[in-house]
């Protein structure tokens, strides 16, 4: 199993540009989570999906952020327009109903907005 796959690993963009982060969950996992990590705020849950349906997006900072999960094997997190304060590491995680091994996290995307 390749685990949770995120792309790109690093992204540098200019303020005002659109940024799209991608995530491929582990096959068979029915829950997907997007987190953001900064030094100041730690790990924050942005949104999560169950069976491709968004369940809780209360952590999404503002309307500039949007997330989709068009099918069980793919999710995107989009920021439009991006701002320097969006600079962070964004993690995607997936899990299954059995929870025998907890959540599996991807390696993250380090986003820098200049």
Partner 1 sequence: DAKTTQPTSMDCAEGRAANLPCNHSTISGNEYVYWYRQIHSQGPQYIIHGLKNNETNEMASLIITEDRKSSTLILPHATLRDTAVYYCIVRARGSSNTGKLIFGQGTTLQVKP
Alpha-carbon gap, residue 114 to 109, rounded angstroms: 16
Alpha-carbon gap, residue 50 to 96, rounded angstroms: 9
Q: Which stretch binds partner 1 (CB under 8 A): 10-18, 27-35, 64-72, 78-86?
A: 27-35
The closest alpha carbon to 3, from 107, 96, 97, belongs to 107
Q: Which of 12, 15, 43, 114 forms a contact with partner 1 (CB under 8 A)?
A: 43
Q: Which stretch binds partner 1 (CB under 8 A): 11-19, 63-71, 75-83, 92-100?
A: 92-100
The closest alpha carbon to 8, from 80, 74, 84, 107, belongs to 107
Based on the shown chain and the rule CB under 8 A, indicate whether residue 108 belongs to the binding site for partner 1.
yes
| Site residues (vs partner 1, CB under 8 A) | 4, 30-31, 33, 35, 42-43, 45, 48, 50, 55-56, 91, 93, 95-99, 101-108
């Amino acid at each position: 199993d390749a685990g949770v796959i995120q792309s790109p690993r690093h992204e540098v963009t200019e303020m005002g540009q659109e940024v799209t982060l991608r995530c491929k969950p582990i096959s068979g996992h029915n829950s997907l989570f997007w987190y953001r990590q900064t030094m100041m705020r730690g790990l924050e849950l942005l949104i999560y999906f169950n069976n491709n349906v968004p369940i809780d997006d209360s952590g999404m900072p503002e309307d500039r952020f949007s997330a989709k999960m068009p099918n069980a094997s793919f999710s995107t997190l989009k920021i439009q327009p991006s701002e320097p304060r969006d600079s962070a590491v964004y993690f995607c995680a997936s899990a299954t109903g059995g929870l025998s091994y907890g959540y599996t996290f991807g390696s993250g995307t380090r986003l820098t907005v200049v």
